[in-house]
Chains A and B, each alone.
With several copies, the nearest count.
Chain A
Amino acid sequence: MERDRRGEMAIAAARLLRDGERVLVGVGLPNLAANIARRVHAPNLVLVYESGVIDARPTRPPLSIGDPDLVRTSLAVVPILDLFSQYLQPGWIDVGLLGGAQVDRRGNLNSTVIGSYDHPTVRLAGSGGAADIASFAKRTVVLLPQSLERFPARIDFVTSPGHPLGLRRERGPDAVVTDLGVFDFDADGEMRLAATYEGVSAEDVQVRCGWRLRVARDLGVVPSPTPAELDALRSLGGQGRA
Protein backbone atom coordinates (compact mmCIF):
# COMPACT_ATOMS: atom_id res chain seq x y z
CA MET A 1 0.00 0.00 0.00
CA GLU A 2 1.58 3.26 -1.11
CA ARG A 3 1.95 6.03 1.42
CA ASP A 4 0.03 9.27 0.94
CA ARG A 5 3.13 11.38 1.22
CA ARG A 6 1.44 14.69 0.52
CA GLY A 7 -1.23 13.98 3.10
CA GLU A 8 1.33 12.94 5.71
CA MET A 9 3.38 16.05 5.08
CA ALA A 10 0.36 18.32 5.34
CA ILE A 11 -0.70 16.71 8.62
CA ALA A 12 2.80 16.86 10.09
CA ALA A 13 3.05 20.55 9.18
CA ALA A 14 -0.44 21.25 10.52
CA ARG A 15 0.64 20.04 13.95
CA LEU A 16 3.30 22.74 14.09
CA LEU A 17 0.63 25.47 13.99
CA ARG A 18 -0.83 26.71 17.25
CA ASP A 19 -4.32 28.05 17.79
CA GLY A 20 -4.65 31.78 17.29
CA GLU A 21 -1.49 32.19 15.26
CA ARG A 22 -1.36 34.25 12.07
CA VAL A 23 -0.10 32.00 9.30
CA LEU A 24 1.00 33.22 5.90
CA VAL A 25 0.27 30.44 3.43
CA GLY A 26 0.52 29.72 -0.27
CA VAL A 27 -1.63 27.45 -2.41
CA GLY A 28 -1.09 23.68 -2.45
CA LEU A 29 0.48 21.91 0.53
CA PRO A 30 0.82 24.95 2.79
CA ASN A 31 -2.85 25.78 2.32
CA LEU A 32 -3.80 22.16 2.97
CA ALA A 33 -1.72 22.07 6.17
CA ALA A 34 -3.17 25.30 7.52
CA ASN A 35 -6.73 24.21 6.84
CA ILE A 36 -6.20 20.83 8.51
CA ALA A 37 -4.90 22.64 11.58
CA ARG A 38 -7.90 24.97 11.56
CA ARG A 39 -10.32 22.06 11.43
CA VAL A 40 -8.57 19.80 13.92
CA HIS A 41 -6.86 21.68 16.73
CA ALA A 42 -6.53 25.38 15.86
CA PRO A 43 -10.01 26.75 15.13
CA ASN A 44 -8.80 30.34 15.55
CA LEU A 45 -5.88 30.08 13.19
CA VAL A 46 -5.76 33.22 11.06
CA LEU A 47 -4.96 32.39 7.44
CA VAL A 48 -3.20 35.20 5.60
CA TYR A 49 -2.29 35.15 1.89
CA GLU A 50 0.33 37.36 0.25
CA SER A 51 -2.36 38.63 -2.12
CA GLY A 52 -3.56 40.72 0.84
CA VAL A 53 -6.27 38.36 2.09
CA ILE A 54 -6.55 38.30 5.90
CA ASP A 55 -8.34 35.57 7.85
CA ALA A 56 -9.86 33.61 4.98
CA ARG A 57 -12.09 30.62 5.63
CA PRO A 58 -11.86 28.88 2.29
CA THR A 59 -14.71 26.58 1.33
CA ARG A 60 -12.61 24.79 -1.30
CA PRO A 61 -8.88 24.37 -1.99
CA PRO A 62 -7.92 27.76 -3.45
CA LEU A 63 -6.61 27.63 -7.02
CA SER A 64 -4.49 30.72 -6.57
CA ILE A 65 -3.63 33.02 -3.69
CA GLY A 66 -6.08 35.51 -5.17
CA ASP A 67 -8.88 32.95 -5.56
CA PRO A 68 -12.29 34.69 -5.37
CA ASP A 69 -13.31 32.17 -2.70
CA LEU A 70 -10.56 33.49 -0.40
CA VAL A 71 -11.75 37.05 -0.96
CA ARG A 72 -15.41 36.20 -0.37
CA THR A 73 -14.68 34.39 2.90
CA SER A 74 -12.06 36.80 4.23
CA LEU A 75 -12.16 39.19 7.14
CA ALA A 76 -10.53 41.80 4.92
CA VAL A 77 -8.37 42.24 1.85
CA VAL A 78 -5.63 44.85 2.14
CA PRO A 79 -3.28 46.28 -0.49
CA ILE A 80 -0.21 44.07 -0.92
CA LEU A 81 2.04 46.91 0.22
CA ASP A 82 0.15 47.18 3.52
CA LEU A 83 0.31 43.43 4.07
CA PHE A 84 4.07 43.38 3.72
CA SER A 85 4.90 46.69 5.38
CA GLN A 86 2.34 46.85 8.19
CA TYR A 87 1.76 43.18 9.00
CA LEU A 88 4.75 41.11 7.92
CA GLN A 89 7.66 43.53 8.43
CA PRO A 90 6.74 44.53 12.01
CA GLY A 91 6.39 40.89 13.08
CA TRP A 92 2.62 40.36 13.16
CA ILE A 93 2.88 37.14 11.13
CA ASP A 94 3.71 34.22 13.43
CA VAL A 95 4.39 31.54 10.87
CA GLY A 96 5.24 31.47 7.19
CA LEU A 97 4.60 28.19 5.40
CA LEU A 98 6.93 27.96 2.43
CA GLY A 99 7.75 25.55 -0.35
CA GLY A 100 10.83 25.64 -2.54
CA ALA A 101 12.90 23.73 -5.05
CA GLN A 102 15.95 23.34 -2.79
CA VAL A 103 16.91 23.81 0.83
CA ASP A 104 20.30 23.72 2.51
CA ARG A 105 21.47 22.98 6.06
CA ARG A 106 20.97 26.63 7.12
CA GLY A 107 17.39 26.65 5.87
CA ASN A 108 18.22 28.82 2.87
CA LEU A 109 15.64 28.22 0.15
CA ASN A 110 15.90 28.32 -3.62
CA SER A 111 12.79 28.97 -5.68
CA THR A 112 14.52 30.93 -8.44
CA VAL A 113 16.62 28.78 -10.70
CA ILE A 114 18.23 25.36 -11.24
CA GLY A 115 21.68 25.86 -12.74
CA SER A 116 23.13 29.34 -13.10
CA TYR A 117 21.04 32.49 -12.94
CA ASP A 118 22.27 33.77 -16.30
CA HIS A 119 22.20 30.42 -18.10
CA PRO A 120 19.61 28.42 -16.24
CA THR A 121 18.86 24.75 -16.68
CA VAL A 122 15.38 25.38 -15.32
CA ARG A 123 14.12 28.86 -14.66
CA LEU A 124 11.63 28.76 -11.75
CA ALA A 125 9.06 31.35 -10.67
CA GLY A 126 11.27 33.31 -8.26
CA SER A 127 10.66 34.75 -4.84
CA GLY A 128 7.22 36.26 -4.91
CA GLY A 129 6.82 37.01 -1.24
CA ALA A 130 8.92 34.03 -0.13
CA ALA A 131 12.11 35.95 0.63
CA ASP A 132 10.11 38.57 2.54
CA ILE A 133 8.24 35.92 4.50
CA ALA A 134 11.39 33.94 5.28
CA SER A 135 12.97 37.17 6.51
CA PHE A 136 10.20 38.54 8.69
CA ALA A 137 7.72 35.88 9.76
CA LYS A 138 8.50 35.00 13.36
CA ARG A 139 9.25 31.49 12.18
CA THR A 140 8.96 29.61 8.93
CA VAL A 141 8.01 26.03 8.24
CA VAL A 142 9.30 24.65 4.96
CA LEU A 143 7.53 21.87 3.07
CA LEU A 144 9.20 19.93 0.31
CA PRO A 145 9.68 16.31 -0.72
CA GLN A 146 13.08 14.89 0.15
CA SER A 147 15.67 14.03 -2.48
CA LEU A 148 19.37 14.58 -3.07
CA GLU A 149 18.51 17.20 -5.69
CA ARG A 150 16.34 19.10 -3.25
CA PHE A 151 18.72 18.78 -0.28
CA PRO A 152 22.09 19.53 -1.91
CA ALA A 153 25.26 20.55 -0.08
CA ARG A 154 25.00 23.85 -1.89
CA ILE A 155 21.80 25.20 -3.38
CA ASP A 156 21.96 26.90 -6.77
CA PHE A 157 20.52 30.21 -5.61
CA VAL A 158 19.57 31.67 -2.23
CA THR A 159 16.11 33.12 -2.81
CA SER A 160 14.94 33.14 0.81
CA PRO A 161 17.50 33.59 3.57
CA GLY A 162 17.81 30.96 6.28
CA HIS A 163 20.09 31.22 9.31
CA PRO A 164 23.47 32.86 8.76
CA LEU A 165 26.57 30.71 9.28
CA GLY A 166 26.99 29.72 12.93
CA LEU A 167 24.10 31.81 14.19
CA ARG A 168 20.41 31.18 14.64
CA ARG A 169 18.68 34.48 13.98
CA GLU A 170 15.59 35.42 15.96
CA ARG A 171 13.15 34.98 13.11
CA GLY A 172 13.68 32.43 10.34
CA PRO A 173 13.40 28.71 9.59
CA ASP A 174 12.03 26.68 12.47
CA ALA A 175 11.08 23.38 10.86
CA VAL A 176 11.31 21.49 7.59
CA VAL A 177 8.71 18.86 6.77
CA THR A 178 9.46 16.30 4.05
CA ASP A 179 7.99 12.97 2.99
CA LEU A 180 10.58 11.20 5.16
CA GLY A 181 10.53 13.17 8.38
CA VAL A 182 10.46 16.42 10.28
CA PHE A 183 13.52 18.61 10.93
CA ASP A 184 14.07 21.34 13.46
CA PHE A 185 16.97 23.77 13.81
CA ASP A 186 19.70 23.63 16.44
CA ALA A 187 20.66 26.55 18.66
CA ASP A 188 23.41 27.39 16.13
CA GLY A 189 20.89 27.46 13.27
CA GLU A 190 21.72 24.15 11.61
CA MET A 191 18.99 21.83 10.41
CA ARG A 192 18.58 18.64 12.46
CA LEU A 193 16.46 15.55 11.85
CA ALA A 194 13.97 15.50 14.74
CA ALA A 195 11.58 12.70 13.75
CA THR A 196 10.84 10.30 10.93
CA TYR A 197 7.63 8.72 9.73
CA GLU A 198 7.06 5.16 10.86
CA GLY A 199 9.28 2.74 8.98
CA VAL A 200 11.75 5.42 7.90
CA SER A 201 15.24 5.37 9.42
CA ALA A 202 17.77 8.16 9.85
CA GLU A 203 19.86 6.37 7.24
CA ASP A 204 16.98 6.50 4.75
CA VAL A 205 16.97 10.24 5.22
CA GLN A 206 20.76 10.61 5.03
CA VAL A 207 20.77 8.86 1.67
CA ARG A 208 18.56 11.63 0.30
CA CYS A 209 20.49 14.50 1.85
CA GLY A 210 23.55 16.13 0.31
CA TRP A 211 25.33 16.92 3.56
CA ARG A 212 26.22 15.03 6.73
CA LEU A 213 22.96 15.27 8.59
CA ARG A 214 22.61 16.13 12.25
CA VAL A 215 20.22 13.76 13.95
CA ALA A 216 18.51 14.42 17.27
CA ARG A 217 19.78 12.17 20.03
CA ASP A 218 16.15 11.40 20.92
CA LEU A 219 15.04 10.95 17.29
CA GLY A 220 11.27 10.67 17.36
CA VAL A 221 8.63 9.03 15.25
CA VAL A 222 6.01 11.21 13.61
CA PRO A 223 2.75 9.99 15.18
CA SER A 224 0.31 8.40 12.74
CA PRO A 225 -2.49 10.62 11.50
CA THR A 226 -5.51 10.64 13.78
CA PRO A 227 -8.98 9.95 12.42
CA ALA A 228 -9.80 13.65 12.86
CA GLU A 229 -6.76 14.63 10.83
CA LEU A 230 -7.61 12.16 8.10
CA ASP A 231 -11.20 13.40 8.02
CA ALA A 232 -10.00 16.95 7.64
CA LEU A 233 -7.57 15.95 4.91
CA ARG A 234 -10.29 14.15 3.00
CA SER A 235 -12.81 16.96 3.36
CA LEU A 236 -10.20 19.33 1.96
CA GLY A 237 -9.71 17.22 -1.13
CA GLY A 238 -6.47 15.57 0.02
CA GLN A 239 -6.29 11.82 -0.51
CA GLY A 240 -6.24 10.82 3.13
CA ARG A 241 -5.99 7.08 3.38
CA ALA A 242 -5.13 5.63 6.77
Chain B
Amino acid sequence: MTAFLTVQEAVSRYVGDGDAIYLAGFTHLIPFAFGHEIIRQRRRHLTLCRATPDLVYDQMIAAGVADTLVFSYAGNPGVGLLQAFRRAVEHGELALEEYTHFELVARLAAGAADLPFWPLRSLDSDLSARRPRPRVKSPFGPEEVAVVPALRPDVTLVHAHCADEMGNIYAWGLLGEVREAALAARRVLVSVEEVRPGDGLRAERDHLLLPAFRVESVSVAPWGAHPSYVHGVYDRDTAAYTEWDRISRDAGATSEWLDAFVHGVPDRAGYLSLLQPERLRALKEAAEHGA
Protein backbone atom coordinates (compact mmCIF):
# COMPACT_ATOMS: atom_id res chain seq x y z
CA MET B 1 0.00 0.00 0.00
CA THR B 2 1.15 3.50 -0.83
CA ALA B 3 1.94 5.49 2.33
CA PHE B 4 0.84 9.08 2.79
CA LEU B 5 3.76 10.86 4.47
CA THR B 6 5.02 14.38 4.91
CA VAL B 7 7.93 15.38 2.70
CA GLN B 8 10.12 15.22 5.82
CA GLU B 9 9.00 11.70 6.69
CA ALA B 10 9.39 10.46 3.13
CA VAL B 11 12.97 11.75 2.80
CA SER B 12 13.87 10.63 6.28
CA ARG B 13 12.58 7.13 5.69
CA TYR B 14 13.65 6.47 2.13
CA VAL B 15 16.63 8.63 1.12
CA GLY B 16 19.89 7.40 2.63
CA ASP B 17 23.46 8.70 2.54
CA GLY B 18 25.25 7.39 -0.52
CA ASP B 19 22.08 6.67 -2.49
CA ALA B 20 21.74 7.26 -6.21
CA ILE B 21 18.69 9.46 -6.57
CA TYR B 22 16.84 10.95 -9.51
CA LEU B 23 14.76 14.10 -9.16
CA ALA B 24 12.59 13.81 -12.25
CA GLY B 25 11.05 16.56 -14.38
CA PHE B 26 12.29 18.20 -17.57
CA THR B 27 11.99 21.97 -16.94
CA HIS B 28 8.46 21.12 -15.72
CA LEU B 29 7.41 19.50 -12.39
CA ILE B 30 10.88 19.68 -10.83
CA PRO B 31 10.55 18.41 -7.23
CA PHE B 32 12.14 21.35 -5.41
CA ALA B 33 10.32 20.57 -2.15
CA PHE B 34 12.05 17.18 -2.04
CA GLY B 35 15.39 18.67 -3.06
CA HIS B 36 15.30 21.26 -0.30
CA GLU B 37 14.29 18.65 2.26
CA ILE B 38 17.27 16.49 1.30
CA ILE B 39 19.51 19.52 1.86
CA ARG B 40 17.77 20.23 5.17
CA GLN B 41 18.31 16.68 6.39
CA ARG B 42 21.99 17.01 5.40
CA ARG B 43 22.27 13.87 3.32
CA ARG B 44 25.81 13.18 2.13
CA HIS B 45 27.67 11.34 -0.64
CA LEU B 46 24.65 11.17 -2.92
CA THR B 47 24.88 10.35 -6.60
CA LEU B 48 22.59 12.91 -8.18
CA CYS B 49 21.10 11.78 -11.48
CA ARG B 50 19.14 14.12 -13.72
CA ALA B 51 19.17 14.93 -17.44
CA THR B 52 19.08 18.65 -16.63
CA PRO B 53 20.49 19.35 -13.16
CA ASP B 54 18.78 22.76 -13.21
CA LEU B 55 18.68 24.97 -10.11
CA VAL B 56 17.57 22.14 -7.86
CA TYR B 57 20.84 20.24 -8.24
CA ASP B 58 22.88 23.44 -8.33
CA GLN B 59 21.48 24.17 -4.87
CA MET B 60 22.05 20.62 -3.68
CA ILE B 61 25.61 20.64 -4.99
CA ALA B 62 26.23 23.96 -3.26
CA ALA B 63 24.86 22.45 -0.05
CA GLY B 64 27.36 19.61 -0.27
CA VAL B 65 25.03 16.63 -0.53
CA ALA B 66 26.59 15.20 -3.71
CA ASP B 67 29.71 13.23 -4.61
CA THR B 68 28.75 12.41 -8.19
CA LEU B 69 26.57 13.91 -10.88
CA VAL B 70 25.03 11.80 -13.66
CA PHE B 71 23.65 14.23 -16.24
CA SER B 72 23.39 15.43 -19.81
CA TYR B 73 22.87 19.20 -19.71
CA ALA B 74 24.04 21.32 -16.78
CA GLY B 75 22.72 24.71 -17.84
CA ASN B 76 20.45 27.27 -16.21
CA PRO B 77 17.69 27.03 -18.84
CA GLY B 78 17.21 30.31 -20.67
CA VAL B 79 19.78 32.04 -18.47
CA GLY B 80 23.22 30.48 -18.89
CA LEU B 81 25.40 28.24 -16.77
CA LEU B 82 24.94 26.65 -13.36
CA GLN B 83 27.42 28.50 -11.19
CA ALA B 84 27.62 26.20 -8.14
CA PHE B 85 28.04 23.22 -10.46
CA ARG B 86 30.78 25.13 -12.33
CA ARG B 87 32.63 25.93 -9.13
CA ALA B 88 32.43 22.36 -7.89
CA VAL B 89 33.69 20.99 -11.20
CA GLU B 90 36.38 23.62 -11.71
CA HIS B 91 37.59 22.87 -8.15
CA GLY B 92 37.51 19.12 -8.79
CA GLU B 93 34.93 18.52 -6.06
CA LEU B 94 32.37 16.61 -8.09
CA ALA B 95 32.73 13.40 -10.10
CA LEU B 96 30.89 13.50 -13.41
CA GLU B 97 29.15 10.82 -15.45
CA GLU B 98 28.18 12.70 -18.54
CA TYR B 99 25.89 11.60 -21.37
CA THR B 100 23.80 13.10 -24.14
CA HIS B 101 20.08 13.55 -23.56
CA PHE B 102 19.27 10.56 -25.75
CA GLU B 103 21.79 8.36 -23.96
CA LEU B 104 20.59 9.39 -20.52
CA VAL B 105 16.91 8.73 -21.19
CA ALA B 106 17.88 5.48 -22.92
CA ARG B 107 19.68 4.46 -19.71
CA LEU B 108 16.43 5.07 -17.82
CA ALA B 109 14.44 3.10 -20.40
CA ALA B 110 16.73 0.11 -19.80
CA GLY B 111 16.25 0.47 -16.06
CA ALA B 112 12.48 0.68 -16.44
CA ALA B 113 12.43 -2.49 -18.56
CA ASP B 114 14.81 -4.39 -16.27
CA LEU B 115 17.35 -4.80 -19.06
CA PRO B 116 21.13 -4.41 -18.60
CA PHE B 117 21.49 -2.05 -21.58
CA TRP B 118 19.65 -0.08 -24.22
CA PRO B 119 20.62 0.10 -27.90
CA LEU B 120 20.95 3.33 -29.82
CA ARG B 121 22.96 4.84 -32.61
CA SER B 122 25.89 6.96 -31.54
CA LEU B 123 28.74 8.64 -33.37
CA ASP B 124 32.19 9.03 -31.90
CA SER B 125 32.94 12.17 -29.91
CA ASP B 126 35.12 13.17 -26.97
CA LEU B 127 32.27 12.04 -24.72
CA SER B 128 32.57 8.51 -26.07
CA ALA B 129 36.36 8.83 -26.06
CA ARG B 130 36.22 9.32 -22.30
CA ARG B 131 33.54 6.73 -21.58
CA PRO B 132 33.12 4.32 -24.46
CA ARG B 133 29.65 3.47 -25.69
CA PRO B 134 30.33 -0.20 -26.50
CA ARG B 135 29.12 -1.53 -29.82
CA VAL B 136 27.02 -4.65 -30.11
CA LYS B 137 26.80 -6.57 -33.36
CA SER B 138 23.35 -7.32 -34.65
CA PRO B 139 22.76 -11.06 -35.04
CA PHE B 140 20.50 -10.24 -37.98
CA GLY B 141 22.92 -8.43 -40.28
CA PRO B 142 26.18 -6.56 -40.61
CA GLU B 143 25.12 -3.62 -38.47
CA GLU B 144 26.53 -2.62 -35.12
CA VAL B 145 24.75 -0.37 -32.67
CA ALA B 146 25.95 1.30 -29.50
CA VAL B 147 24.57 0.41 -26.10
CA VAL B 148 24.38 2.35 -22.85
CA PRO B 149 24.06 0.74 -19.43
CA ALA B 150 20.80 0.73 -17.45
CA LEU B 151 20.41 3.46 -14.86
CA ARG B 152 18.51 2.28 -11.79
CA PRO B 153 18.22 4.99 -9.15
CA ASP B 154 17.71 3.82 -5.58
CA VAL B 155 15.03 6.45 -5.29
CA THR B 156 13.29 8.60 -7.89
CA LEU B 157 11.49 11.66 -6.59
CA VAL B 158 8.60 13.07 -8.62
CA HIS B 159 6.35 16.09 -8.32
CA ALA B 160 2.91 15.89 -9.94
CA HIS B 161 -0.42 17.66 -10.07
CA CYS B 162 -2.43 15.34 -7.86
CA ALA B 163 -3.01 11.91 -6.42
CA ASP B 164 -6.14 10.04 -5.47
CA GLU B 165 -6.54 8.48 -2.04
CA MET B 166 -5.12 5.19 -3.27
CA GLY B 167 -1.89 6.85 -4.36
CA ASN B 168 -2.46 6.87 -8.12
CA ILE B 169 -0.56 9.83 -9.58
CA TYR B 170 -1.79 12.22 -12.28
CA ALA B 171 0.04 14.85 -14.31
CA TRP B 172 -0.65 17.08 -17.30
CA GLY B 173 1.59 18.78 -19.83
CA LEU B 174 5.23 18.11 -20.63
CA LEU B 175 6.45 14.84 -19.09
CA GLY B 176 9.99 14.70 -20.44
CA GLU B 177 11.66 11.68 -18.83
CA VAL B 178 9.51 11.54 -15.68
CA ARG B 179 7.81 8.22 -16.33
CA GLU B 180 10.99 6.38 -17.33
CA ALA B 181 12.89 7.84 -14.36
CA ALA B 182 10.18 6.65 -12.00
CA LEU B 183 9.80 3.19 -13.50
CA ALA B 184 13.58 2.69 -13.47
CA ALA B 185 13.83 3.30 -9.73
CA ARG B 186 13.72 0.80 -6.92
CA ARG B 187 11.50 3.21 -4.99
CA VAL B 188 9.37 6.16 -6.11
CA LEU B 189 8.47 9.04 -3.79
CA VAL B 190 5.92 11.53 -5.07
CA SER B 191 4.90 14.98 -3.93
CA VAL B 192 1.70 16.49 -5.29
CA GLU B 193 -0.08 19.80 -5.30
CA GLU B 194 -3.14 18.11 -3.83
CA VAL B 195 -4.85 14.81 -3.02
CA ARG B 196 -8.32 14.51 -4.53
CA PRO B 197 -10.84 12.40 -2.64
CA GLY B 198 -13.20 9.95 -4.31
CA ASP B 199 -13.09 8.26 -7.68
CA GLY B 200 -13.30 11.39 -9.84
CA LEU B 201 -9.74 11.13 -11.09
CA ARG B 202 -10.40 7.75 -12.71
CA ALA B 203 -12.03 9.63 -15.59
CA GLU B 204 -8.62 11.23 -16.24
CA ARG B 205 -7.13 7.90 -17.29
CA ASP B 206 -5.17 9.45 -20.12
CA HIS B 207 -3.29 11.51 -17.55
CA LEU B 208 -2.32 8.75 -15.16
CA LEU B 209 1.40 9.17 -14.60
CA LEU B 210 1.98 6.21 -12.25
CA PRO B 211 -0.30 3.57 -10.76
CA ALA B 212 -0.32 3.41 -6.97
CA PHE B 213 1.47 0.07 -6.88
CA ARG B 214 4.59 1.74 -8.31
CA VAL B 215 4.52 4.51 -5.68
CA GLU B 216 6.10 4.11 -2.26
CA SER B 217 4.77 7.30 -0.72
CA VAL B 218 2.74 10.39 -1.54
CA SER B 219 3.36 13.75 0.14
CA VAL B 220 1.23 16.83 -0.21
CA ALA B 221 3.40 19.82 -1.10
CA PRO B 222 1.60 22.79 -2.68
CA TRP B 223 4.03 24.80 -4.80
CA GLY B 224 6.34 21.82 -4.48
CA ALA B 225 7.88 22.56 -7.89
CA HIS B 226 8.55 26.30 -7.47
CA PRO B 227 10.47 27.98 -9.19
CA SER B 228 9.81 25.32 -11.84
CA TYR B 229 6.19 25.03 -12.90
CA VAL B 230 3.09 22.89 -12.79
CA HIS B 231 1.24 23.09 -16.09
CA GLY B 232 -2.02 24.99 -15.72
CA VAL B 233 -1.49 25.52 -11.97
CA TYR B 234 1.41 27.96 -11.71
CA ASP B 235 3.86 29.25 -14.26
CA ARG B 236 7.63 29.05 -14.23
CA ASP B 237 9.21 31.72 -12.03
CA THR B 238 11.70 32.91 -14.60
CA ALA B 239 12.87 35.75 -12.37
CA ALA B 240 14.01 33.20 -9.78
CA TYR B 241 16.15 31.49 -12.40
CA THR B 242 17.80 34.84 -13.20
CA GLU B 243 18.20 35.73 -9.50
CA TRP B 244 19.87 32.39 -8.84
CA ASP B 245 22.41 33.16 -11.54
CA ARG B 246 23.40 36.30 -9.61
CA ILE B 247 23.32 34.72 -6.15
CA SER B 248 25.13 31.56 -7.14
CA ARG B 249 28.09 33.36 -8.67
CA ASP B 250 29.24 34.05 -5.13
CA ALA B 251 29.85 31.16 -2.71
CA GLY B 252 29.03 33.31 0.29
CA ALA B 253 25.77 34.60 -1.13
CA THR B 254 24.86 31.05 -2.07
CA SER B 255 25.38 29.86 1.52
CA GLU B 256 23.32 32.72 2.80
CA TRP B 257 20.51 31.85 0.43
CA LEU B 258 20.57 28.21 1.52
CA ASP B 259 20.58 29.27 5.16
CA ALA B 260 17.60 31.53 4.66
CA PHE B 261 15.44 29.60 2.21
CA VAL B 262 16.25 26.00 3.08
CA HIS B 263 17.90 25.50 6.47
CA GLY B 264 16.10 28.51 7.92
CA VAL B 265 12.63 27.14 7.33
CA PRO B 266 11.10 23.90 8.59
CA ASP B 267 9.28 22.94 5.41
CA ARG B 268 7.79 24.10 2.12
CA ALA B 269 5.18 26.25 3.86
CA GLY B 270 8.02 28.07 5.54
CA TYR B 271 9.77 28.58 2.20
CA LEU B 272 6.58 29.96 0.67
CA SER B 273 6.14 32.37 3.56
CA LEU B 274 9.40 34.02 2.48
CA LEU B 275 8.06 34.77 -1.00
CA GLN B 276 5.87 37.78 -1.75
CA PRO B 277 2.21 36.73 -2.07
CA GLU B 278 1.90 38.91 -5.20
CA ARG B 279 4.71 36.98 -6.79
CA LEU B 280 2.93 33.68 -6.30
CA ARG B 281 -0.39 35.15 -7.34
CA ALA B 282 1.12 36.39 -10.61
CA LEU B 283 2.53 32.94 -11.36
CA LYS B 284 -0.85 31.36 -10.72
CA GLU B 285 -2.64 33.86 -12.93
CA ALA B 286 -0.14 33.43 -15.75
CA ALA B 287 -0.73 29.68 -15.70
CA GLU B 288 -4.49 29.99 -15.62
CA HIS B 289 -4.64 32.53 -18.44
CA GLY B 290 -2.24 30.59 -20.56
CA ALA B 291 -3.88 27.20 -20.12
Q: Report yes or no: B78 in contact with A27, Cβ–Cβ below 8 A.
A: yes
- Docked complex Cα distance between A50 and B177 (Å): 11
**Which residues does chain A contribute within 8 Å of B241, judged by CB atoms?**
63
Q: Report yes or no: A63 in contact with B236, Cβ–Cβ below 8 A.
A: yes
- Given A69-B290, A79-B175, A125-B74, the answer on whether A131 and B26 have CB atoms closer than 8 Å is no
Having A63-B78, A127-B73, A131-B123, one finds 7 other A-B pairs with CB under 8 Å, namely A20-B213, A46-B213, A64-B77, A68-B235, A120-B89, A124-B81, A127-B127
**Which residues does chain B contribute within 8 Å of A55, judged by CB atoms?**
211
The reply on A52 being an interface residue by CB < 8 A is yes
- Given A122-B86, A123-B90, A161-B123, the answer on whether A128 and B75 have CB atoms closer than 8 Å is yes
The reply on A71 being an interface residue by CB < 8 A is yes
- Docked complex Cα distance between A118 and B175 (Å): 33
Q: Contact residues of B with A, CB < 8 Å?
A: 1, 26-28, 51-52, 71-75, 77-78, 81-82, 85-86, 89-90, 92, 98-103, 105-106, 108-109, 112-115, 120-127, 129-130, 168, 173-177, 179-180, 183, 202, 205-206, 208, 211, 213-214, 229, 231, 235-236, 238, 241, 287, 290-291
- Docked complex Cα distance between A65 and B115 (Å): 27
Q: Report yes or no: B102 in contact with A126, Cβ–Cβ below 8 A.
A: no
**Which residues does chain B contribute within 8 Å of A147, judged by CB atoms?**
none
Residue of B nearest to A57 (CB): B202
- Docked complex Cα distance between A54 and B168 (Å): 12
Within 8 Å by CB of B120, from A71, A74, A85, A127, lies A85
Q: Report yes or no: A89 in contact with B120, Cβ–Cβ below 8 A.
A: yes
**Which residues does chain B contribute within 8 Å of A127, judged by CB atoms?**
72-73, 98-101, 127
| Interface size range of chain A in the complex | 35 or more
Residue of A nearest to B30 (CB): A66
Q: Report yes or no: B51 in contact with A80, Cβ–Cβ below 8 A.
A: yes
- Docked complex Cα distance between A21 and B221 (Å): 29
- Give 28 A-B contacts (CB < 8 Å), ordered by A residue: A51-B27, A53-B174, A65-B77, A66-B77, A66-B174, A67-B78, A68-B173, A68-B235, A77-B173, A80-B101, A84-B102, A85-B106, A86-B112, A112-B126, A121-B90, A122-B90, A125-B74, A125-B81, A126-B72, A126-B73, A127-B98, A128-B72, A128-B73, A128-B75, A128-B101, A129-B101, A129-B102, A136-B121
Looking at the assembled complex, report how far the CB atom of A80 sits from the nearest CB atom of chain B, in whole angstroms: 5
Q: Report yes or no: B231 in contact with A71, Cβ–Cβ below 8 A.
A: yes
- Given A51-B174, A63-B78, A125-B75, the answer on whether A92 and B214 have CB atoms closer than 8 Å is yes
Looking at the assembled complex, report how far the CB atom of B13 sits from the nearest CB atom of chain A, in whole angstroms: 21
Residue of B nearest to A128 (CB): B73
The reply on A196 being an interface residue by CB < 8 A is no
Q: Report yes or no: A125 in contact with B176, Cβ–Cβ below 8 A.
A: no
**Which residues does chain A contribute within 8 Å of B26, judged by CB atoms?**
51-52, 66, 80
Q: Report yes or no: B213 in contact with A92, Cβ–Cβ below 8 A.
A: yes
**Which residues does chain B contribute within 8 Å of A66, judged by CB atoms?**
26-28, 77, 174, 176
**Which residues does chain B contribute within 8 Å of A135, judged by CB atoms?**
121-123
The reply on A119 being an interface residue by CB < 8 A is yes
- Given A66-B28, A92-B213, the answer on whether A79 and B180 have CB atoms closer than 8 Å is yes
**Which residues does chain A contribute within 8 Å of B73, judged by CB atoms?**
125-129
Residue of B nearest to A20 (CB): B1
Stretch of A152-160, A173-181, A199-207 contacting B (4+ beta carbons < 8 Å):
A152-160
The reply on A88 being an interface residue by CB < 8 A is yes
Q: Report yes or no: A52 in contact with B102, Cβ–Cβ below 8 A.
A: no
**Which residues does chain A contribute within 8 Å of B82, judged by CB atoms?**
125
**Which residues does chain B contribute within 8 Å of A136, judged by CB atoms?**
121
Q: Report yes or no: A123 in contact with B127, Cβ–Cβ below 8 A.
A: no
